[in-house]
Structure 1
Amino acid sequence: MSVTNLAPWLVTVGAGTIDRNFPADVILGDGRRLNGVSLYSGVQLKGKMYPVVYPGKSGDLSASLCMENSLDPNIVKGKIVICDRGSNPRVAKGMVVKEAGGVGMILANAASNGEGLVGDAHLLLACALGSDEGDAVKKYVSSSPNPTATIDVKGTMIGIKPAPVVASFSARGPNGLNPEILKPDLIAPGVNILAAWTDAVGPTGLDSDPRKTEFNILSGTSMACPHVSGAAALLKSAHPDWSPAAIRSAMMTTASITDKTNRPMIDEATGKPTTPYDFGAGHLNLGRAMDPGLIYDITNSDYESFLCAIGYNPKLVQVVTRSLVVCPMKKPLPENLNYPSIAALFSTTSRGPSSKMFTRTVTNVGQANAVYVAKIEAPRGVTMTVKPMKLVFTPTVKKISYLVTITADSKHLVLDDAGAVFGSLTWTDENHKHVVRSPIVVTQLDPL
């Protein structure tokens, strides 16, 4: 649980990879090739082997992380240096190695980073390795009397498979503040993105970097969010009457949950399949979002009711809305906010089966005459019904509400590693032109 920016009026965006990468190999003296990533375009080693050293071998934490002034030039000069990822910036580690006289750097992921790799504009030859490969090179150094290595940078490759995958650094759910709202909402390209860059600083952002460039390769949810912002602007241009909630709905209900080979998206860090806690509704697909068929709209008053539902009194709600708000006498249910996803929370202490009901309203933004049929993929161990199962839209019937009932027995509910079970509800029109999908999350919550 690391996701932030949890308010339901925000679009919360995670990061995925694209099918472009910058592969490089660390070739060890025993002939093994360890696959990594490098953006370095300067002078290459051209296969020449150099001594390789791991400063952390002695147990010095600062040296293992290649912190400033932690490396002894007498030990690292003329050698390839292994630096552990963490604490100081990745590019700063490279500068420390360069200033100490190293000819190259191997940046090894920690176990917490897993196998997720990003390219950096290092000032010396550097290759990033995943946790497993990083451990392998450190074991080689500790077991060999004269360890050597070289770095082979391969440049740019496209058509990488699988793609997209969920970036290892991307924030994960569940929503720790309001678990009734699934977050993140969706993911978008956020790894090794070609982006505009200022000439006020070098591509590393370090004061000591003299290079100038108009573009840089950057990674982060800070790269994924602009993709969604740009998509939202295009959607608003195409549909000027759509609200922000309608735009978010269009992006979420048309998002892709598979990679380009039509297999489930995986986690970059672990290689395991991902869940809506990782990718929300899926990966942004702007072409489909332009014509979503149905949208889940939300008004300002709906958000006010949501704040009342989660325990805000009118005075606190006014801090957010800056206008007079009267909370309803009957407290609304936060899970009935007209969100394009559903999260069902069951008490861990309940005895026997219990049910949760959710009301949603969809607005037809496609052809005036349309019929949509529901397809239910109930989470494992859960019973789920939808009424009605068919939505018939006409020129005069543009909005229709439906009721979802989810029944589970907490005593016998077996959650997966993410602490939940997952399913979906999909509305499809008769010609299958529009497929409107909502993720379903069922989890357990200890009573307060």
Structure 2
Amino acid sequence: MRHKHNNDISLLLCLSLLTLLPLLAKCDEHQKPYIVYFGGHSGDKTPAQILETHHSYLTSVKETEEEAKASLIYSYKHSINGFAASLTPEQASQLNELDEVVSVIESRPRKYKPHTTRSWEFAGLNEAATYNPQVSNRFDTEKSFMAEDLLHKAGYGKDVIVGILDSGIWPEARSFSDEGLEPIPKTWKGICQTGQDFSSSHCNKKIIGARYYLKGFERHFGPLNATSDYRSARDKDGHGTHVASIAAGRQVQNASAFGGFARGTASGGAPLARLAVYKVCWPTPGQEKTMGNTCGQEDMLAAMDDAIADGVHVISISIGSDDLLSHMEDGISIGAFHALERNVVVACSAGNSGPTPATLSNAAPWIMTVGASSVDRAFLGRLVLGNGKMITGQTVTPYTLPERLPLIYAADAALPWVPKNETDQCLPNSLSPEKVKGKIVLCIRGTTFRVLKGMEVKRAGGAGFILGNSAEFGDAVYLEPHVLPTTALGYNDTNEVINYIKSNKDNATASLAEPETVFGNGPAPFMAGFTSRGPNVIHPSILKPDITAPGLNILAAWSEASPPSKVSEDHRVVSYNFDSGTSMSCPHVAGLAALIKAIHPTWSSAAIRSAIMTTASVKNKKGEAITDQSGDKATPFEFGSGHFRPSRAADPGLVYDASYGDYLLYLCSYGLRNADKRFECPEVLPPTYDLNYPSVSVPKLNGSATVRRTVTNVGGAGKAAYFFGGKPPPGLTVEARPSVLYFSRVGEKKSFELRVTVRNRTAAEGNFRGGYGFGWYAWRDDYHVVRSPIAVSLG
């Protein structure tokens, strides 16, 4: 250990004057969990030796060896070299001064926000058809040749292991049955960790592994409240069960929610893939009533270290942070970087902070970052106003109000104590029973849980409930298990109802018709308003998100210990539930990655990501451009390369591959030269936008820039010719050199240069959105279209 300096007098006093108990207590009060990260392991030490080394580092800043051992939270000793420990800021600073330390990270708990009967069928996989491995080797019904071909070739993902980092799993769910499954893959090295209400029998040939991680959480918050969650891998929240079933749930017939809504065959993308569950998220103290969860960085890093060693092939992480963290300050990014070295695909949610720009999380180039979009199924809840006007909202509440009743705006029924800017929110105990009783009440989305708004209307004696969107949410509506006859409206329809109420004063009336399920509804997919978006402020040379997938109103398995609304006042129990968020879109992509991994087991994680990205579509089902929450044309900062197309992704023609060394070179150009001690950065570094990525982002372009890329021929035919084409951002030109790529065999690589030039700066500035212009380029042969988005800002 080589120190640059060590002269912190306050720390020495704190550690040496042991007789001064108040001072010692003060030191303890300032201890926080930190992650000390050294990079990767050299492979020449046993786990016991690694642990001893980590203890020695702690002993160097602690008073005694016992104190050092007591402070240790985790020793990361598989792929990741580092440890988590309770340290004072001064001790953390001392360790950060060591040459061998890559980074020291103060571990702040990361909170996730809710960040599938129809979704896979909408995406091109025929999940309505069932597969019986004991009867035949094909679908019982044939609806989509390409989907059948993909699933058949992939064996439905039977030998692929998908790791889920989340809130655990409800093992009794029908989606996790192991009936008819083959033995557990011999490559599996993990365990089934027992705990509260979770025994070894809860693992099977479907859920082949389960672990839980509490040490970091309890260092932050103290012992887990025994009534708030299970001290095991069992899921009390519902979120983990939901995402696991989306990625790899079995095909379950007659799945539905709330008395029959969305009835059909529920399935994950890779229905025969195996699941390994890593519970890292726990109820946030003080937020148990609204099921708010926290996921500690040190716990997630320990889970990823174990998952890589256990032998997972794909990791799905529907967790993110509102904090914008750089490469080596983010536990998920560090873990995913080591997963990359072991060729493990990592898919992460982009976040739910839209429509504000530059809000996405999980932005590292070795992570597949997923935005959220809609499917084409709607559950129509028609509102009929007293003037005869019919407005179509959406609902999954099995109640109706066919007779006309008085209609009132919540802002006109709020009690005097309610702040003026919240009178329309239907906050708990905010409505006047005298004004609300027997009426239908219009409440606006925003403050507090949506289901709680309906509960407040019910408490005040209301007969029905309309949930209206404000401008920030546009026309995307959430399906919720409300407790009254309800419909949810987009922004424009909400305004129409408000105007009707205002123009009719005390005479406004309305009725709510019986819900109706329709398919092919509207211009789908469209981007969900909540989906976080670019530009990528951490890595401006990497366009993010990478892809979009269904994340709005997704039906999947649920924990029977969690009410469908996730509100403690709700005592209903369901097996399947709707949820929305990039949390739901992420496991869709993880499930597809599992299928591609099954078909192409030797492909790198970069090649799999490239295949998914370059085969995506930027058109909706009507053949028009994908739109955003306001109906305007969406951009790559919302959908990345486009909406994923599973049936195309297994045969992309060309892939943009990248090795672990390529990412280390990227980090050198980024300014991080010590990510791996075995790699020496060259003296001349390429620009960061030269990382061999399936998309192109050129920030602060002045004049022109040359972007270098290499593609690998993975098409079925050895000989192929690909021709360049595309559409440059406004006011720019994009040229490829060469403009034709000739291949003579599968596996052959060809390099090319893209010359991006400002042709008309005035035209560019006048047509750029938010400072960026967007375009695309593609390589085409007779069958494949290998498409990549382009984003450029001007310097």
Query: What is the TM-score normalised by the length of structure 1?
Result: 0.92
Structure 1 residue 190: Cα displacement: 1.2
Structure 1 residue 61: Cα displacement: 3.7
Per-residue displacement from partner, 1:309-351 (whole Å, max 9, x unpaired)?
122242xx25xxxx5443222233100000001112235xx5x
Select between 56-65 and 13-22 the one with higher mean Cα deviation.
Answer: 56-65
Residue of 422, 434, 446 corresponding to 2:784: 434
Residue equivalent to 2:515 = 154
* 1:342 partner amino acid: V
Per-residue displacement from partner, 1:123-165 (whole Å, max 9, x unpaired)?
2111111112112212222232321111224321112131111
Residue equivalent to 1:404 = 754
Asked if the contact 1:114/1:131 (under 8 Å) is kept, the reply is yes
Residue equivalent to 1:309 = 669
The structure carrying a bigger helix percent of its residues is: 2
* 1:333 partner amino acid: P
Return 5+ residue gaps in structure 2 as ranges: 1-356
Residue equivalent to 1:4 = 361
Asked if the contact 1:379/1:422 (under 8 Å) is kept, the reply is yes
Is residue 208 of structure 1 aligned with residue 584 of structure 2? no
Residue equivalent to 1:341 = 695
1:64-75 to structure 2, matched below 5 A, reads 64-75=424-435
Select between 282-291 and 26-35 the one with higher mean Cα deviation.
Answer: 26-35
Select between 77-86 and 375-384 the one with higher mean Cα deviation.
Answer: 375-384
Q: For CA contacts below 8 A with separation 6 or more, give which structure has more relative contact order.
A: 1
Residue equivalent to 2:491 = 131
Residue equivalent to 1:395 = 745
Distance 2:681 2:456 in 1: 58
Residue equivalent to 2:768 = 416
Residue equivalent to 1:194 = 555
Distance 1:296 1:396, change over 3 A: closer
Per-residue displacement from partner, 1:47-67 (whole Å, max 9, x unpaired)?
x11112223136744442111
Q: Which runs of 4+ in 1 moved over 4 A?
A: none
Residue equivalent to 2:655 = 295
Residue equivalent to 1:357 = 706
Residue of 167, 171, 183 corresponding to 2:528: 167
Residue equivalent to 1:284 = 644
* 2:614 partner amino acid: T
Structure 1 residue 411: Cα displacement: 4.1
Asked if the contact 1:246/1:297 (under 8 Å) is kept, the reply is yes
Asked if the contact 2:610/2:656 (under 8 Å) is kept, the reply is yes
Distance 2:665 2:649 in 1: 28
* 2:408 partner amino acid: V
Asked if the contact 1:410/1:444 (under 8 Å) is kept, the reply is no
* 2:388 partner amino acid: G
What secondary structure sits across from 1:112 in the alignment? helix
Residue equivalent to 2:450 = 90
Residue equivalent to 1:222 = 583
Distance 2:375 2:510 in 1: 30
Distance 1:176 1:282, change over 3 A: same
Select between 138-147 and 128-137 the one with higher mean Cα deviation.
Answer: 138-147
Structure 1 residue 202: Cα displacement: 2.0
Asked if the contact 1:50/1:80 (under 8 Å) is kept, the reply is yes
Is residue 380 of structure 1 aligned with residue 722 of structure 2? no
Structure 1 residue 397: Cα displacement: 6.8
What secondary structure sits across from 2:475 in the alignment? coil
What secondary structure sits across from 2:431 in the alignment? coil
RMSD (Å) for aligned C-alpha atoms: 1.7
Asked if the contact 1:202/1:212 (under 8 Å) is kept, the reply is yes
Per-residue displacement from partner, 1:281-323 (whole Å, max 9, x unpaired)?
1110011101011100111111111122122242xx25xxxx5
Per-residue displacement from partner, 1:85-104 (whole Å, max 9, x unpaired)?
00211112111212222111
What secondary structure sits across from 1:163 in the alignment? coil
Distance 2:761 2:719 in 1: 45
What secondary structure sits across from 1:346 in the alignment? strand
Residue equivalent to 1:110 = 470
Distance 2:726 2:420 in 1: 56
Select between 404-413 and 14-23 the one with higher mean Cα deviation.
Answer: 404-413
Structure 1 residue 23: Cα displacement: 1.2
Distance 1:403 1:282 in 2: 23
Is residue 34 of structure 1 aligned with residue 391 of structure 2? yes
Asked if the contact 1:40/1:153 (under 8 Å) is kept, the reply is no
What is the total number of aligned residue pairs between the two structures? Answer: 429
Structure 1 residue 224: Cα displacement: 0.8
Structure 1 residue 421: Cα displacement: 2.0
Distance 1:340 1:74, change over 3 A: same
* 1:164 partner amino acid: P
* 1:231 partner amino acid: L
Distance 1:411 1:297 in 2: 33
Per-residue displacement from partner, 1:203-259 (whole Å, max 9, x unpaired)?
111222222211112211111111100000111011000111111000000001111
Distance 2:533 2:477 in 1: 18
Residue equivalent to 2:139 = none
Asked if the contact 1:308/1:332 (under 8 Å) is kept, the reply is no
Asked if the contact 1:342/1:440 (under 8 Å) is kept, the reply is yes
Asked if the contact 2:398/2:515 (under 8 Å) is kept, the reply is no
Structure 1 residue 409: Cα displacement: 5.1
What secondary structure sits across from 1:331 in the alignment? coil
Residue equivalent to 1:261 = 622
Select between 89-98 and 282-291 the one with higher mean Cα deviation.
Answer: 89-98
Distance 1:396 1:207, change over 3 A: closer
Structure 1 residue 417: Cα displacement: 2.9
Asked if the contact 2:442/2:467 (under 8 Å) is kept, the reply is yes
Asked if the contact 1:113/1:131 (under 8 Å) is kept, the reply is yes
Select between 12-21 and 269-278 the one with higher mean Cα deviation.
Answer: 269-278
What secondary structure sits across from 1:122 in the alignment? coil
Asked if the contact 1:201/1:209 (under 8 Å) is kept, the reply is no
Distance 2:618 2:361 in 1: 22
Query: What is the TM-score normalised by the length of structure 2?
Result: 0.52
Structure 1 residue 83: Cα displacement: 0.9
Structure 1 residue 396: Cα displacement: 7.8
What secondary structure sits across from 1:156 in the alignment? strand
Distance 2:746 2:434 in 1: 82
Structure 1 residue 419: Cα displacement: 2.8
Asked if the contact 1:372/1:392 (under 8 Å) is kept, the reply is yes
Return 5+ residue gaps in structure 1 as ranges: none
Structure 1 residue 180: Cα displacement: 0.9
Asked if the contact 1:39/1:155 (under 8 Å) is kept, the reply is no
* Structure possessing the higher radius of gyration over alpha carbons: 2
* 1:192 partner amino acid: N
* 2:607 partner amino acid: A
* 1:222 partner amino acid: S
Distance 1:335 1:405 in 2: 13
Asked if the contact 1:109/1:131 (under 8 Å) is kept, the reply is yes
Structure 1 residue 410: Cα displacement: 7.3
What secondary structure sits across from 2:401 in the alignment? coil
State the identity %. 42
Select between 289-298 and 53-62 the one with higher mean Cα deviation.
Answer: 53-62
Is residue 185 of structure 1 aligned with residue 546 of structure 2? yes
